A and B are shown apart, each in its own frame.
Chain A
Amino acid sequence: MQLDAVVYMGAGTLLLFMGVASMALSKNLVKTIMSFQVLLFGANLALFSSGLGSTTRLTVDTFVLLSITAGAAVEAVGLAIILGVHRKYGTLDPSKVRKLKE
């Protein structure tokens, strides 16, 4: 494995864990979406680095391209849901939204 692939794989794993931890612990829905974006960056970088210097690079790049577009679409839908939640409940704190729902 090449050095850059190893370094990018490590950075991608780190970003993945940081995104998951921040998503699980965040108290703001906007921050949850930002954490999802970080998670997506990590997944894309790890996937991309797995194709560096290998014969399946074109396939890997195609999947990264698909992942980028799908992730952006998911994020746009998430932001629209956040806007709807803020209009209905007036807050972006998930725990408060849960209490207001009851």
Chain B
Amino acid sequence: MNPSELQPLILAGALVGTVAFALFSTKVSSSLIALFYSSVILAVIFTISGDALLGLVQMATFAGAVSVLTLSVVLMTGESRLGLGIKNLGVASVLALLAFAAATFSIIIGGSGSAFPSSYADISSQVLVLLWVDRPWDLLILVMAFASAMVTISNLMSKEP
């Protein structure tokens, strides 16, 4: 497999991983940070797939406004722990298995019988060069994302007087 073909797999895996961490984390601060990073990863997916406007809107809306709104609500209500949120572990396991089966099924059906078709268009072969040289405002988005993440983390970790 060409190393550039690994890019969507890595991004999709990172997205699913951060979302799973956000849903299963019991601490509300960890959950919020993971959800913020999943928004950023989704914006990166939109951007490197050739639609930078969608990435920008996703970043401004979810990683910006909605994250701040959720943080405000959490601070105003004083909820520090979310709980695992799962009453019945058996039902949750069955649902997770169903989700995994559906994802695998859609991958195989979408790939016309093959999970990894060879006719992969060369979208991401020079994406890093494009990202840093031809589209420098993507770099600005990433810098803004990391800066806001740092501010969020420092706010969440600071103690009230």
Contacts and interface: CB of A to CB of B under 8 A. Distances in A.
A83 B75 CA distance: 11
A5 B110 contact: yes
A46 to B, nearest CB: 8
Contacts of A22: 23, 85
B69 A75 contact: yes
B100 A14 contact: yes
A14 B8 contact: no
A1 B110 contact: yes
21 contacts: A1-B110, A1-B117, A4-B120, A4-B124, A6-B107, A8-B8, A10-B103, A10-B104, A13-B99, A18-B19, A18-B96, A21-B95, A21-B99, A25-B85, A27-B87, A34-B22, A34-B23, A61-B51, A68-B62, A76-B66, A83-B76
Interface of B: 5, 7-9, 12-13, 15-16, 19-20, 22-23, 28, 31, 35, 38-39, 42, 45-46, 49, 51, 53-54, 57-58, 61-62, 65-66, 69-70, 73-74, 76-77, 79, 82-83, 85-88, 91-92, 95-96, 98-100, 102-104, 106-107, 110-112, 115-117, 119-121, 123-124
Given A18-B99, A68-B62, 13 more contacts: A4-B8, A10-B104, A11-B16, A13-B103, A17-B95, A18-B19, A18-B23, A27-B85, A48-B51, A61-B54, A64-B46, A79-B69, A82-B73
